[in-house]
Structure 1
Amino acid sequence: MDPLVVVTFAVVALLEIAVPLVLGYWIVRRFGVPWRIFGLGALFFIAVQVIHTPLVLVTQAPLYLAFLPMGTTAAVAVLAVYLGLLAGLFEELGRYLVYRYYFRRRGIALTRENGLQFGAGWGGVESMLVALIVISGMLSYIALTGDGWSLFVPDDPAVQAQVEALRSLTPLDILPGLAERMMTITLHIAWSLLVLAAVVYGKKLLLVLAVLWHAAVDAAAVYLVQTQGIFVTEAAVFVFAVLGLAYILWEWRRPAS
């Protein structure tokens, strides 16, 4: 067991929880937006996933197997597009419905500041949930690679292979996940502002753009991580995140109507 790997796991998990909260706090202090908007973003992300996640779990394997005769690459490509579109449709339509119906009925102003905080909560809670997975991974790493636990590992080739894979981990294998969370939060804020604009200006085309943008990011991530590896994947997500940051800055500098 490498103590540096354990420390990296812990730091990554801590930052994946702390950064969204710090961002939410900054928005509260800077713009006077209440924490309630952050909480609504988190709540409605979870609500969307209650339907979205089971659908993914039930359909992705049969879809992949159905296209597997065309070749592994083709099957992965089809699956990537499918998962990307599902994510885009569920999450962006979810945002749209929350803004159009829940915000308006509750008298919550459709301002850029509220959209910023809502996106921070939406992407922030996803980051926190991923942090729980990171903590679980850290505990598995400690349990399966520590010298005292080696006697309890089954003498099964598949299990032994998993243990060896864990033992080969380095901090560089863990850090990209933190970078991805920060980039994803940026994208969620950008998408939240874009969908907000679709509601405020009554332009459904902006909603379609948000769905396709979200779908493109997720599809690229699914396909590239299977075919090119984690670092190429994170580079692609970085490009999308830069575009997201550029849109956020453009939206903020545009005169409010």
Structure 2
Amino acid sequence: MDPLVVATFAVVALLEIIVPLALGYWIVHKLGVPWRVFGLGALFFIAVQVVHTPLVLVTQAPVYLALLPMGTTAAVAVLAVYLGLLAGLFEEVGRYIVYRYYFRRQKIPLTRENGLQFGAGWGGLESMIVALLVLSSMVTYILLTGDGGVLPLPDDPAVVAQVEALRSLTLLDILPGLAERMMTITLHIAWSLLVLAAVVYDRKALLALAVLWHAAVDAAAVYLSQTQGILVTEAAVFVFAVIGLWYILWEWRRMGARAAS
């Protein structure tokens, strides 16, 4: 067991929790948006995943098996598009429904500030859930690679291979996950503002764009992680995140100008 690997697991998990909370705190104190909006983003993320996640779990394997006659690479590509579209449809249409009906019913203003905080809560909770998974992986790493063997393991080649894979982990295997969370939060804020724009400007084409953009990111991540490895995958997500950051700044100015007019 490498203590640096354990420490990296812990730091990554901690930052995946602290960063979204710090972002929410900054929005509260800098822009005057209440924590309630952050909480609504987190709450409706859960509401969407209650339906989305079971659907993925039930259909992913059958869809992949049905596609296998096309060849492994083609099957992975089509499956990636399928999973991406599911994510885009559930999450972006979910955001649209919340803005159009819940926000208006609760008299929550459809402002850029609220869109920013809502996206921070949505992507922030996802980051915190991933942090719990990172902590779970840390515990598994400690139990299976600790000196003397903390857990008795069966004499199974598959188990031995798994333990050896864990022992070979380095900092570079863990740190990209933190970068991915920060990039994903950026994208969730961008998508939240884009869907907000669809409601504010009454342009459903912007909702369709948000669905397709989200689907493209998820499909690329699924396909590249299976075929090209983690570094190429994170590089692709980084490009999408840079586009997302540009859009946040552009839409922020556009909505600000509209509010001032």
TM over 0.5: yes
Q: Structure 1 residue 151: deviation in Å?
A: 6.4
- CA-to-partner distance for each residue in 1:144-174, whole Å, 9 max, x for gaps? 0002326611110111111010000001000
Measure the CA separation in 2 of the matches of 1:37 and 1:6: 35
8 Å Cα contact 2:143-2:151 kept in structure 1: no
Give the equivalent residue in structure 1 for 2:69: 69
- 1:25-36 paired onto structure 2 within 5 Å: 25-36=25-36
8 Å Cα contact 2:88-2:214 kept in structure 1: yes
Structure 1 window deviating more from structure 2 (125-134 vs 143-152): it is 143-152
- CA-to-partner distance for each residue in 1:194-246, whole Å, 9 max, x for gaps? 00000011000000000000000000000000000000000000000000000
Measure the CA separation in 1 of the matches of 2:258 and 2:148: 62
Number of matched residues?
257
Give the equivalent residue in structure 2 for 1:187: 187
- 1:83-232 paired onto structure 2 within 5 Å: 83-149=83-149, 152-232=152-232
Measure the CA separation in 1 of the matches of 2:207 and 2:63: 27
Structure 1 window deviating more from structure 2 (228-237 vs 147-156): it is 147-156
The amino acid across from 1:173 in the alignment is: D
Q: Structure 1 residue 256: deviation in Å?
A: 2.5
8 Å Cα contact 2:87-2:215 kept in structure 1: yes
Structure 1 window deviating more from structure 2 (157-166 vs 247-256): it is 247-256
1:256 counterpart = 2:252? no
Measure the CA separation in 2 of the matches of 1:148 and 1:98: 53
- Runs of 4+ in structure 1 displaced over 3 angstroms? none
Q: Structure 1 residue 69: deviation in Å?
A: 1.5
SS, match of residue 33 in structure 1: coil
1:21 counterpart = 2:21? yes
SS, match of residue 147 in structure 1: coil
Q: Which runs of 5+ in 2 are unaligned?
A: none
Closer/same/farther in 2, CA of residues 151 and 136 from structure 1, 3 Å limit: closer
Closer/same/farther in 2, CA of residues 105 and 154 from structure 1, 3 Å limit: same
SS, match of residue 133 in structure 1: helix
Identity of aligned residues (%): 84
Give the equivalent residue in structure 2 for 1:4: 4
Q: CA RMSD in A?
A: 0.8
Give the equivalent residue in structure 2 for 1:243: 243
